[in-house]
Amino acid sequence: MISVELSRRFKRIVRGSGRESEVSATLKWMVEGFGKPHAHSRLAIRKLGKHLYECRTGLGWRLIFAARKGALIFDFAGDHDGVQSYLRNKR
């Protein structure tokens, strides 16, 4: 079973956005579907780099996470511009 870890930054962003139920549902689907290629298309999972992925909760909202052995570590959530800024600063 895959565990889910949420960074403080991720929790703060989600609380401030008012999208808790949307994100919660996506996290549940991630636990059930990550690592199963047919489920990836439904979850809109996209690889961004080594161990770094994004998934979508809706048209304009993305969750950034790292995949480690047995765990998905969510660190950022935001729109396209926010994700681009996060990725630029991460490298």
What CATH number did the domain enclosing 60 receive? 3.30.2310.20
Tens digits of residue pLDDT in 28-39: 988 887 877 666
Rounded to the nearest integer, the mean pLDDT of the chain is 89
Residue 16 sits in which domain range? Answer: 3-90
User: Which residues 6+ apart lie within 8 Å of 72 measured at CB?
Assistant: 2, 3, 4, 5, 30, 31, 34, 65, 66
Contacts of 61 (CB under 8 A, 6+ apart): 17, 19, 22, 77, 78, 79
- Look up tokens 């080594």; give the residue: 50
Residue 33 confidence (pLDDT) = 79
Please give the radius of gyration of the chain, using alpha carbons only, rounded to the nearest integer: 12
For residue 38, what pLDDT is reported?
64
The closest alpha carbon to 17, from 79, 73, 74, belongs to 79
Domain count, the chain: 1
